[in-house]
Amino acid sequence: DAMVIQNPRYQVTQFGKPVTLSCSQTLNHNVMYWYQQKSSQAPKLLFHYYDKDFNNEADTPDNFQSRRPNTSFCFLDIRSPGLGDAAMYLCATSTLDTADTQYFGPGTRLTVL
């Protein structure tokens, strides 16, 4: 089945220790998104890619970076995680059609000790 996969599902890191979260998709979608979700709140968009064209949301902290080496994979790097970065991180994909649905992965829950 075509899908969005996130690894790992649970990640524990230490304060200030860099961490990378990964997302892959078999849907062959052009657009990939990273969201941060805290405590059952609405997901907050961090970045998105139109193909390899990177788009950073204005209020995304510099501590967060992203890479998309090819259509299938996208990575979220947190350079120096703080306690406030503990959250669920969601990856999503869609086509370029604005009527299309965004399909989400299962998420990675990040704990910062």
Partner 1 sequence: AQSVAQPEDQVNVAEGNPLTVKCTYSVSGNPYLFWYVQYPNRGLQFLLKYITGDNLVKGSYGFEAEFNKSQTSFHLKKPSALVSDSALYFCAVRDTWGNAGNMLTFGGGTRLMVKP
Dihedral of alpha carbons 48, 52, 56, 60, sign? positive
Q: Which of residues 41 and 80 has its CB atom nearest to partner 1 in the complex?
A: 41
Q: Is 58 in the site for partner 1 (CB under 8 A)?
A: no
CB of 106 to partner 1, least distance (A): 5
Residue 67 burial class via C-beta count within 10 angstroms: exposed 0-12, middle 13-18, buried 19 and up: middle
CB of 29 to partner 1, least distance (A): 10
Spell 70-82 as b/e; 16+ CB within 10 A means b: ebbebbbebeebe
Among 13, 45, 65, 72, binds partner 1 (CB under 8 A): 45
| Stretch in the footprint of partner 1 (CB under 8 A) among 59-67, 68-76, 78-86, 102-110 | 102-110
Extended beta strands in 1-113, E state: 4-7, 10-13, 19-25, 31-37, 44-50, 53-56, 64-67, 73-78, 87-94, 103-104, 108-112
Among 56, 63, 109, 111, binds partner 1 (CB under 8 A): 109
Q: Is 104 in the site for partner 1 (CB under 8 A)?
A: yes
Contacting positions for partner 1 (CB under 8 A): 4, 6, 31, 40-43, 45, 48, 88, 90, 92, 94, 96, 98-107, 109
